[in-house]
Amino acid sequence: MFKVLLIVCTFNLLAFDRVWFDYDLGFGKFAHDVDDAYALTHLLLNHKNYEIVGLSLVHGNTTDLDFQKKQTQLILNKLKMKISVFKGASSKEEITKITPAVLGLKNALEKGKLKVFSSGRLTNIATLVHFYPHLIKNISELVFLGGRRLEGVSKFKGKINFPDTNVDGDLAAIITILKSKVNLTLIPVESMHDLLWNSRVMDETSQINSYFKWLNKKSKLWKFLWNLWPRVDGFIPWDLFVITYETHKEDFFCEKNLYVDLKYLTNTSSHPLRADPEKKFFLTVSKKNQSLYKANYCSSIDSNHILNILKNWEKLR
Ligand SMILES: [Ca+2]
């Protein structure tokens, strides 16, 4: 009996993921995306399902990493959690800089396998794999918000292609990551098109408890901006669906080992404030168009995914 128990315990320890989250928190800054806060909240609430080894900050939604750290600390305090937070690159130019984020990640990887979630630019992770290539084997999976199908993307509401911001924001980092041959999983924007965090979901969320009431209140301006463009009720909390890949993997439809590459293509994406060039690089995946690199690609997420998240939050509040 004791032997069986020991085996079960050992198995459990082995199955317990060590996770790291690298993101660009704009939450709390005027008219900035709120999605990282939702991702961080979800990661923290489900902390009993894995070991959160560290959090690291990167440029993107804002280059102000002191602000990002302050806001992260605020969320940690509200949820009564203590996790190490490391500042990383505040611009893509800092890809050559060994920041506290790179060192923190290095130390964590030296202690064993780590699943890395990236919902911002890949700058920090690229610096790590470039300077410490012997540690790449300890990244069991790198889950990244980005990528699109080479053969064409389905449009949001039949008319809009959102830009692939994390790719556009640091192409050098993308190249470095592809060359590292790390086990890369892409959660693309197209998989999230039907997952609108609308008024009804926001109302339900705010009723969970005072924390969610606060989170919801702070998201109202973002909802208002989405109402101006792309003219819908609610917003897509992109980054949340990077973290829920860890907790609700059964909701994700993913294919393994597709060809992935950077391709210079006609720009079909649109943004209300940014004028992009006519042609630009896209991180593309394809089943048939061969390339030297491969990645896993999650092309869709179950339509009940938001409902499942709300149930999870109700249970953990
Ligand atoms: Ca983000």
Give per-residue pLDDT as tens, 202-231: 999 999 999 999 999 999 999 999 999 999
The residues placing their C-beta within 5 Å of ligand 1, an ion, are 24, 36, 119-120, 239
Say how many Å lie between the CA of residue 312 and the centre of ligand 1: 22
Average pLDDT, the chain: 94
Find, among 182, 21, 176, the residue nearest to 95 by Cα.
176
Taken in order of first residue, the domains within the chain and their CATH numbers are 17-316 (3.90.245.10)
Ligand 1 midpoint to CA 240 (Å): 9
Ligand 1 centre to CA of 36 (Å) is 5
The Cα 22–Cα 130 span in angstroms is: 17
What residues does 18 pair with on adjacent strands?
Answer: 51
Q: What is the pLDDT of residue 83?
A: 98
Does the pLDDT at position 15 exceed 90?
no
pLDDT in tens, 126-142: 999 999 999 999 999 99
In angstroms, what is the span from residue 35 Cα to ligand 1's centroid? 7
Tell how far the Cα of 116 is from the centroid of ligand 1, in angstroms.
14
Whether the predicted pLDDT of 12 surpasses 60 = no
How far does the chain reach from its first CA to its final CA, in angstroms? 36
Distance 29 CA to ligand 1 centre (A): 13
pLDDT tens, 67-112?
999 999 999 999 999 999 999 999 999 999 999 999 999 999 999 9
State the pLDDT at residue 190: 94
pLDDT of residue 22: 98
**DSSP helix/strand/coil, 234:** coil
Q: Convert the pLDDT of each residue in 144-186 to its tens digit.
A: 999 999 998 889 998 899 999 999 999 999 999 999 999 999 9
Per-residue b or e along 24-54, where b marks 16 or more CB atoms closer than 10 Å to that residue's CB: bbbbbeeebbbbbbbbbbbbbbbeeebebbb
Which residues, 6+ apart, have CB-to-CB distance to 164 below 8 Å?
146, 147, 148, 188, 189, 269, 282, 283
Please say whether the beta carbons of 124 and 96 come within 8 A: no
Q: Answer whether 254's CB lies under 8 Å from 297's CB.
A: yes
Residue 260's φ and ψ, nearest 5 degrees, are -130, 145
How far is residue 155's CA from residue 153's CA, in Å, rounded to a whole number? 6
Q: How far is CA 115 from the centre of its chain?
A: 12
Please name which of 317, 313, 202 lies closest in space to residue 248, comparing C-alpha atoms.
313
> Is the pLDDT score of 307 beyond 80?
yes
pLDDT in tens, 92-101: 999 999 999 9
